[in-house]
């Protein structure tokens, strides 16, 4: 080949490299939310460290790719038979082989050092200001504040009609919950993560916190969030039918707002306990019961009470629902070990439990007419 | 050498005339002990499973085309993702490699057949039954497996549909089939090489398969043990994986990935072998570093046993464990890099032509490398907390499995098809198939990197609105890729039927014993061993 050809080769290679860089720069720009291409930097020191690691390793990969694919493309263009290229029969070169073993090793060591530093920081959950136990349930999260005793469940708030396409989808479709986790800004929060049934995984991308929630284990993770705001995440481990429908929403508040919120929660819990003492009519219980049923039971037993054959038993016409109330109360409160039937004794209030059992016994034309009173359940809960 | 091989071809021709050929009718296929017949059956079976698993993937992509639930319910969606994974791994990719091994290993090492022909028949015929059982579960009460192809306990034990017992039985049968196939490969390679075919002269496809076979023998029993423990938990009240009974759900993942990570390499090492055969042929140049390729393959196989927990960075293993698995995983990049550099160095200053097998092989090197890069990113444990269980992982393993394993299988089929059938396939159609597949898979899988990084978890039937645009693009690509495979089937079938006589060498730059046989080769490949010098 003449010098001229080589010159144009160089030129073309440079052009090609420039093209790559443009494409990749486009790939990492975050101009449009709907076309978000890259990882979020997040709002914690750790999440930014993770983002930096991600970008460094990404650019290392890009650099290697440009070299390797560049040589390859060069050969594909210039060393083709149709251009009259003759094969040079060289092979086996110990020096080259050692070089391309040692150089990647060095790059890898360079990469391992910052990664190790970040990992050590992520594992240091000591000296927390606030401890929150997070428990994964099929298909909702429970948040228990160990210091203040606040305890509630958090489940998907997106209405079924939006999911089924009967209504237009809202801005935070599938990323909205009824009761978000609330934490104070600038404090070290330690999460104690576990699960009640199958394995879930608690993930908030903006905190770079992802930890599996495993029954029988308590995993630790922590975060210090620097800016108040609302942050959204999702369950990241396949946990059954509604795995895609158990989002996480974290509201980060200033310390005074957070304190006020804790007070209000504690009051509301007292309020709830009191309402169990009141006398409830069948109609009142049926209305409350239907709401509770749709939220806590219908995912498996279906709104019609007919269940899913082979997977979840029907309640409509079932022997337990139509039989002795004591057996019915027992299975709802304590669950059925070894099956997907959870124990609801801690999940729902006395009123909610009484209402939902009453509802099950009277809905779907089974009308037994019996009332399960909240006070009766409250006794069992103690 | 050429005179010797010509003589040999003559003698093997004469031998076939005296020997019995294939039996007539269906019994040929049921009772055959011939490596070519069995190889053919493996390949057709694999193709059927590839199309079945592909249809399931298209159902998944159809549902994910838009946010909201359109076509299928979440539980059925989970069954589709699970079955798609299981069928592609155990039904499409693995049997395809065994089929290629059956066809090519005896011909490449100068043997008449596989060492254990009856075992060979049995290992194939287990498969249709195993997969019938597995597919049957879709029609049972409660549906088929819906717990992901990784079937983590307790979702796959306490919380599984009743059909899980059939799934366990099917996995046992596949395991038996794989182990027997692997034993056969090892025995054949170690005992039936032609005189002069020393180990360091073995074609790389044979070398990579030998190492793959050892991996299979080492890990398939672990999978069998795992599903047996599940069976005990489900039916015999043990609590291996149930915390309530004192068991450990994480133990399941350790055992699964101790099988699962070598399994991943079982699906890629033979691909390395195929590509290492094809690139030198069409670059008309010897492979740059034969021995370093052998050592790199062995190192990858060894490393595959000490990296399993990188699939479990988020389960809460202690810091020291996390660091060990991170370093070990990063180390894999070194021998894998050596392989890629060797392929590129082989092409460099060659005299290349771009027939369909070469196109698939070049695409393999580029796109597998992209999968390798995202693999390196995933190895960085702190960053993995963000990537884990998102579409970034889906993009990663589809890049190494589809343009990796599947492209290499297609490259191998195009490469050896004229040898097998004695006819050339339609080159123009082959190239169209390649380009449609190449464009299709990139449209499908590249955007998955973006949605994964943006925060979309995997295995969800519905997603937040910000992921909608890229998901729509992915779905379009998936249908393009899926339907372009019909061209492949058409091309293969018409290649078998039409008469377009291929020469014995088939390709201008081909080397190796298999090209010294006639096209199509005699029923018993080498009845007298060729001499290799």
Residue A231 to residue B136: CA distance in whole angstroms:
43
Residue B418: strand, helix, or coil = helix
C-alpha radius of gyration, chain A, whole number? 29
Across the interface, of A122, A212, A238, the residue whose CB is closest to B147 is A238
Half-sphere exposure (Cβ direction) of A328: Cα atoms closer than 13 Å: 25
Going by pLDDT thresholds of 50, 70 and 90, the confidence category of residue A31 is very low
Q: Which residue has the higher pLDDT, A357 or B214?
A: B214
Spell out which residues of chain B touch residue A91, defining contact as CB-CB under 8 Å: 285-290, 346
Token representation of residue B191: 């005992």
Domains of chain A: 3-122 (no CATH), 130-273 (2.60.40.420), 276-381 (1.10.760.10)
User: Do the chains contact at B314 and A212, CB–CB below 8 Å?
Assistant: yes
Give the pairing type, strands A247-253 and A181-184: parallel
Question: Residue A18: which pLDDT band, with cuts at 50, 70 and 90?
Answer: low
A267 and chain B in contact, CB less than 8 A: no
pLDDT given for residue B221 in this prediction: 97
Nearest to B285 among A87, A97, A210 (CB): A87
Domain B2-516 indexed as CATH 1.10.3720.10? no
A-chain residues near B154 (CB < 8 A): 197-199, 215
Question: Can you say how many angstroms the Cα of residue B20 is from the centroid of all Cα atoms in its chain?
Answer: 34
Predicted confidence at residue B7, as pLDDT, reads 47
> Which residues of B are catalytic, by number?
84, 113, 149, 177-178, 261, 263, 265, 276, 310-311, 336, 339, 458
Q: What is the 3-state secondary structure (H, E, C) of chain A?
A: CCHHHHHHHHHHHHHHHHHHHHHHHHHHCCCCHHHCCCCCCCCCHHHHHHHHHHHHHHHHHHHHHHHHHHHHHHHHHHCEHHHCCCCCCCCCCHHHHHHHHHHHHHHHHHHHHHHHHHHHHHCCCCCCCEEEEEEEECCEEEEEECCCCCEEEECECCCHHHHCCCCCCCCCCCCCECCCEEEECCCEEEEEEEECCCCEEEEEHHHCEEEEECECCCEEEEEECCCCEEEEEEECCCCCCCHHHCEEEEEEECHHHHHHHHHHHHHHHHHHHHHCCCCCCHHHHHHHHHHHHHHHCHHHHCCCCCCECCCECCCCCCHHHHCCHHHHHHHHHHCCCCCCCCCCCCCCCHHHHHHHHHHHHHCCCCCCCCCCCHHHHHHHHC
CA separation for the pair B111, B192 (Å, rounded):
6
> ipTM, 2 decimals?
0.90
- Tell me how far CA of residue A101 lies from CA of A32, A94, A325, B326, in angstroms: 41, 11, 72, 19
Q: Which of B70, B323, B348 sits opposite A116 (nearest CB)?
A: B323
* pLDDT for res B367: 97
Q: Give per-residue pLDDT as tens, A333-356.
A: 888 877 778 888 888 888 888 888
Residue of B72 and A326 predicted with greater confidence: B72
Pairing of strands A219-224, A140-145: unpaired
- Count of pairs with CB atoms under 8 A, one residue in A, one in B: 303
In sequence order, the β-bridge partners of residue A177 are A156
- Tens digits of residue pLDDT in A82-97: 998 888 888 888 899 9
HSE-up (13 A, CA, CB side) for residue B129: 11
Whether A72 and chain B come into contact, CB under 8 Å, resolves to yes
> Which one-letter DSSP state was computed for residue B7?
H
Q: State the Cα–Cα distance between residues A154 and A207, nearest whole angstrom.
A: 19
Residue contact A163–B68, C-beta within 8 A: yes
Q: Which tokens in the block code for residue B78?
A: 């989970």
CA distance B454 to chain A (A): 5
pLDDT at A89: 83
Quick one: pLDDT at residue A364? 80
Could you give the maximum distance between any two Cα atoms of chain A, in Å? Answer: 99
Going from N- to C-terminal start, the domains of chain B cover 2-516
DSSP-derived letter for residue B352 is B
pLDDT value for A220: 95
Strands, E assignment, B47-114: none
Query: What gap in Å lies between CA A346 and CA B153, rounded to an integer?
Result: 25
* Mean pLDDT lowest among A55-64, A296-305, B289-298, B507-516: A296-305
Q: How far is CA A356 from CA A209, A293, A352, B131, in A?
A: 36, 6, 6, 44
CB contacts, 8 Å: A65 with chain B: 369-370, 373
Beta bridge partners of A182: A251
A153-182 pLDDT, tens per residue?
Answer: 999 999 989 999 999 999 999 999 999 999
pLDDT at A7 over 80: no
| pLDDT at res. A16 | 62
Facing A89 at nearest CB: one of B67, B286, B377:
B286
Quick one: pLDDT band at residue A277, thresholds 50, 70, 90? confident
Is A40 within 8 Å of chain B by CB?
A: yes
How far, rounded to the nearest angstrom, does the alpha carbon of residue A166 sit from its chain's CA centroid? 26
Question: Over chain B (533 residues), what is each successive 10-residue block's mean pLDDT?
Answer: 45 50 84 95 97 97 95 95 97 97 96 95 97 96 93 93 96 97 97 95 96 97 97 95 92 97 96 97 94 96 96 95 96 95 95 96 97 96 96 97 96 96 95 97 96 96 94 96 96 89 92 93 91 82
A14 alpha-carbon distance from chain centroid: 43
For position A8, what pLDDT does the model report? 55
pLDDT of residue A22: 60
- Measured between alpha carbons, how far is B309 from B311 in angstroms, rounded to an integer? 5
Grade residue A30 by pLDDT with cuts at 50, 70 and 90: very low
Q: Cα separation of A233 and A174, whole Å?
A: 10
Q: What torsion, rounded to 10 degrees, do the Cα atoms B508, B510, B516, B519 define?
A: -70
Supply the pLDDT for residue A81.
Answer: 92
Pick from B86, B96, B92, B93: nearest CA to B145: B86
Chain B residues in contact with A238 by the CB 8 A cut-off are: 78, 147-148, 152, 155, 458-459
The three-point CA angle B232-B233-B235 to 5° equals 65
């Amino acid at each position: 080949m003449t010098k001229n050809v080589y010159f144009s080769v160089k030129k073309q290679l440079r052009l090609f490299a420039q093209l790559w860089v443009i494409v990749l720069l486009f790939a990492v720009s975050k101009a449009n939310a709907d076309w978000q291409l890259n990882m979020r930097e997040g709002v914690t020191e750790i999440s930014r460290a993770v983002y930096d690691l991600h970008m460094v390793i990404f650019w290392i990969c890009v650099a290697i790719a440009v070299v390797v694919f560049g040589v390859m493309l060069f050969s594909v263009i210039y060393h083709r038979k149709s251009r009259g290229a003759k094969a040079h029969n060289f092979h086996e070169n110990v020096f080259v082989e050692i070089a391309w073993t040692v150089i990647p090793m060095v790059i890898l060591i360079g990469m391992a050092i910052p990664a190790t530093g970040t990992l050590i920081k992520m594992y240091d959950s000591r000296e927390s200001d606030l401890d929150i136990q997070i428990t994964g349930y099929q298909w909702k999260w429970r948040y228990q504040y160990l210091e203040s005793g606040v305890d509630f469940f958090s489940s998907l708030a997106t209405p079924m009609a939006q999911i089924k396409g009967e209504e237009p989808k809202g801005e935070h479709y599938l990323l909205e919950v009824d009761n978000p986790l609330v934490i104070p800004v600038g404090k070290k929060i330690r999460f104690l993560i576990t699960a009640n049934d199958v394995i879930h995984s608690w993930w908030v991308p903006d905190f770079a916190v992802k930890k599996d929630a495993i029954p029988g284990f308590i995993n630790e993770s922590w975060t210090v969030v620097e800016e108040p705001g609302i942050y959204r995440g999702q369950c990241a481990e396949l946990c059954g039918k509604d795995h895609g429908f158990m989002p996480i929403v974290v509201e980060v508040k200033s310390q005074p707002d957070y304190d006020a919120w804790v007070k209000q929660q504690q009051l509301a819990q007292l309020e709830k306990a009191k309402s169990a003492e009141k006398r409830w009519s069948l109609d009142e219980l049926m209305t409350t019961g239907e709401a509770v049923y749709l939220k806590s039971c219908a995912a498996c037993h279906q709104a019609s009470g007919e269940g899913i054959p082979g997977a979840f038993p029907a309640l409509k016409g079932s022997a337990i629902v139509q039989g002795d109330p004591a057996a019915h109360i027992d299975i709802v409160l304590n669950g059925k070990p070894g099956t997907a039937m959870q124990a609801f004794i801690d999940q729902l209030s006395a009123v909610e439990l009484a209402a939902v059992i009453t509802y099950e016994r009277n809905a779907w034309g089974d009308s037994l007419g019996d009332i399960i009173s909240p006070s009766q359940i409250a006794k069992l809960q103690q | 050498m050429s005179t010797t091989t010509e003589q040999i071809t003559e003698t093997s021709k004469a031998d076939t005339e005296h020997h019995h050929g294939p039996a007539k009718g269906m019994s040929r296929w049921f009772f055959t002990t011939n490596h070519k017949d069995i190889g053919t059956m493996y390949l057709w079976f694999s193709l059927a499973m590839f199309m079945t698993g592909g249809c399931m993937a298209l159902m998944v992509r159809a549902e994910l085309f838009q946010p909201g639930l359109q076509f299928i319910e979440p539980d059925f969606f989970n069954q589709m993702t699970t079955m798609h994974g299981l069928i592609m791994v155990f039904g499409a990719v693995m049997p395809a490699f065994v089929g290629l091994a059956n066809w090519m290993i005896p011909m490449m090492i100068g043997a008449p057949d596989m060492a254990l022909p009856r075992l060979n028949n049995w290992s194939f015929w287990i498969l249709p039954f195993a997969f019938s059982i597995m597919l049957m579960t879709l029609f049972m009460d409660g549906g088929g497996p819906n717990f992901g192809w990784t079937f983590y306990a307790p979702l796959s034990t306490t919380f599984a549909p009743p059909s899980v017992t059939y799934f366990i039985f099917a996995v046992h049968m596949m395991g038996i089939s794989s182990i027997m196939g692997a034993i056969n490969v090892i025995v054949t390679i170690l005992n039936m090489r032609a005189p002069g075919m020393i180990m360091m002269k073995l074609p790389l496809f044979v070398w990579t398969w030998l190492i793959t076979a050892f991996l299979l023998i080492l890990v398939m029993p672990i999978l069998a043990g795992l599903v047996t423990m599940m069976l005990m938990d489900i039916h015999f009240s043990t609590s291996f994986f149930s915390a309530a009974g004192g068991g450990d759900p994480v133990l399941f993942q350790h055992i699964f990935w101790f099988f699962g990570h070598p399994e991943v390499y079982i699906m890629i090492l033979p691909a390395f072998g195929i590509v290492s055969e094809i690139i030198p042929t069409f670059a008309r140049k010897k492979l740059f570093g034969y021995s370093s390729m052998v050592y790199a393959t062995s190192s990858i196989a060894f490393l595959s046993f000490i990296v399993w927990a990188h699939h479990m960075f988020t389960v809460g293993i202690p810091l020291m464990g996390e660091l060990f698995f991170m370093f070990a995983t990063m180390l894999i990049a070194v021998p894998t890099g050596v392989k890629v550099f060797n392929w590129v160095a082989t092409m460099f200053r060659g005299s290349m032509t771009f027939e369909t097998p070469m196109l698939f092989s070049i695409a393999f090197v580029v796109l597998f490398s992209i999968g390798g890069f995202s693999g390196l990113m995933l190895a960085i444990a702190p960053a993995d907390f963000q990537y884990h269980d998102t579409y970034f992982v889906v993009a990663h393993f589809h890049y190494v499995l589809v343009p990796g394993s599947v492209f290499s299988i297609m490259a191998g089929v195009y490469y050896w098809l004229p040898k097998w059938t004695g006819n050339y396939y339609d080159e123009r159609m082959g190239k169209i198939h390649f380009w449609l597949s190449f464009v299709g898979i990139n449209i499908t899988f590249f955007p998955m990197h973006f949605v994964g990084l943006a925060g979309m978890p995997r295995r969800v039937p519905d997603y937040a609105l910000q992921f909608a645009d890229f998901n729509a693009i992915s779905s379009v690509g998936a249908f393009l890729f899926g339907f372009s495979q019909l061209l492949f089937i058409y091309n293969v079938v018409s290649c078998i039927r039409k008469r377009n006589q291929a020469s014995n060498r088939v390709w201008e730059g081909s080397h190796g014993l298999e090209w010294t046989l006639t096209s199509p080769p005699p029923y018993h490949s080498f009845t007298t061993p060729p001499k290799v010098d």
